[in-house]
Structure 1
Amino acid sequence: MAANSSTRLLKLALPLVSEHGFTRAALARSVLHLPTPHAEPLSDTAVSALFGRGDLARKTLIRAWLDDGVESMKNAPGVGTSVKDALHARLAYNEPVLAHLPEAFALLAAPESGIPPIDPVPALKHAARIADEACYVSGDQSLRLSWYTKRATLTGIYSAAELHQLTSPQTAHSFLDSLLSTSTTIDSSVEEVKLFSSYIFRSWAGIIRSQGVL
């Protein structure tokens, strides 16, 4: 199948994640939801050809889900008035698949070689994209150094709230509110950025170990 077919099937696989997780099975079953559905799921060989061998296919699905999460912030009800609204909308996007997120995050952060140290870059890129999109959809016009410091702080705040959500979903939104309200110097809080960065790294390392990826 062409690249366009792969993209189409990825989109069809996203709603299946809540039931099947970020798995090759979810990708295989995507063809059952085409306008003219296939009679049976894709073969394992076909999944590998379209999305990658082994865990590469799963990572392809995870990244597609992350991309869709950023895109969804533009159309979420109530978004467009504040950064806070946008971040809450993105937390809500996680809710249908929360049970599968620790394993997905662990897979993204695990080194390709399977040997420590872990790679924190995917975690930081994920949260930074969300912080940037939150500022964009809310009409934030920060300039120069303020642009970097504000987004760095929001990156840390969102990451901390999302990590909290994995263990305490019921209090995730109130936790996000508390972080935003106590970050009174959000445009210049360098120490907060350092604190959040340390917390994020340690938490993602814990997720990886708990999932048995390393």
Structure 2
Amino acid sequence: MEGLIGRSSKIMLQRIQTKSIIKPNLLNLRPHRSFSYSVSAKLINSNVESNEQKETSRIPLNLIHSEILRASLSFVPKYGWSVESLSHGANSLGYPSVSHGLFPRGGVELIEWFLEDSRRKMVNELIDKMDGLKIHQKIRLACITRLNYTKPYAKKWSEALAIMAQPNNVQTSIEHLAKLVDDMWYLAGDKSADMNWYTKRGSLAVIYSSTELYMTQDISPDYTGTFQFLDHRLQDIATFGRVVGEIDTFVGFVTKSLVGVLASKGIGNFDK
């Protein structure tokens, strides 16, 4: 499945470069650092850990990262996208609470990991389920599948949106969104190579972002209102060629709308 994920996001980002707020030297998405050394699997105090444990309980640090991040999601509904969630996640696995120091950027790293993990899960879940569906049905299924991953954290998702809308995180936020909608269209069988490539992805990005934002305020049972909102936006098929004519317009719309709505609710500090 190599080549499916993020297949064309760099093309989108290159188009953004000319007029967007993203600096050119920041456009290349950097992979997570890979650690070649290993540490104790449970970071147990050396005074009480036996020599046998020291020999058998060593695993790569990057696996510890993922293990802690995954466990931390269970604490997001209570503590939000925060260092507290990371501390509790580490502690739940037997690591000391100070293990959150493995994540110098705090809750941002938890959000980014969730976004990347959810996108990969969406692709894996849908790659064999698209046969026989029409394009608009495929897009709807992709949107619903991805939104379902956010449902357990929906009450805290406005916090995540506020964090990712901060100036230092906007670039990463746009990159994740660009990859997500590109994967959705690729799963739907889109192979366009002209300006339709931009309008389709830009329009879907606006639709998905607005639906996700709606979800943060939805009080309907099982977020039925959110999915009705999505259906209303998708019903107007002409939207895919009309909402966004240029990718820089899309960036401005998403960024300004998101920051404006969150700021009006007193979420986040956007003056820094």
Residue 64 of structure 1: aligned partner: 113
Report 1:89-168 matches (<5 A). 89-112=145-168, 120-168=170-218
- 2:80 pairs with 1:31: no
Distance 2:197 2:246 in 1: 16
Q: SS where residue 63 of structure 1 aligns?
A: helix
Distance 2:124 2:146 in 1: 11
What is the percentage of aligned positions where both structures have the same residue? 26
**Contact residue 120 and residue 201 of structure 1 kept, 8 A:** no
Distance 1:14 1:165 in 2: 18
Decide which moves more: 94-103 or 160-169.
Answer: 160-169
Q: Which runs of 5+ in 1 are unaligned?
A: 113-118
- Taking CA–CA contacts closer than 8 Å with sequence separation of 6 or more, which of the two structures ends up with the larger relative contact order? 2
Distance 2:261 2:196 in 1: 32
Distance 1:125 1:4 in 2: 24
- 2:245 pairs with 1:177: no
Q: SS where residue 96 of structure 2 aligns?
A: coil
**Contact residue 79 and residue 138 of structure 1 kept, 8 A:** no
Decide which moves more: 69-78 or 148-157.
Answer: 69-78
Larger radius of gyration between Structure 1 and Structure 2? 2
**Contact residue 22 and residue 61 of structure 1 kept, 8 A:** yes
Q: SS where residue 123 of structure 2 aligns?
A: coil
CA drift at 1:138: 2.6
- 2:67 pairs with 1:8: yes
**Contact residue 200 and residue 240 of structure 2 kept, 8 A:** yes
Distance 2:254 2:88 in 1: 37
Residue in structure 2 matching 1:201, options 235, 248, 256: 256
More helix, by proportion: 1
Aligned residues: 198
In the alignment, residue 31 of structure 1 is paired with which amino acid? Answer: A
Distance 1:151 1:69 in 2: 18
Q: SS where residue 211 of structure 1 aligns?
A: coil
CA drift at 1:189: 4.9
Residue 100 of structure 2: aligned partner: 47
Q: Which runs of 5+ in 2 are unaligned?
A: 1-38, 40-60
Distance change (3 Å), C-alpha of 1:140 and 1:29: same
Distance 1:199 1:148 in 2: 15
**Contact residue 165 and residue 255 of structure 2 kept, 8 A:** no
Distance change (3 Å), C-alpha of 1:110 and 1:140: same
Distance 1:191 1:144 in 2: 12
Distance 1:189 1:165 in 2: 21
Q: CA RMSD in A?
A: 2.8
CA drift at 1:87: 0.7
Q: SS where residue 216 of structure 2 aligns?
A: helix
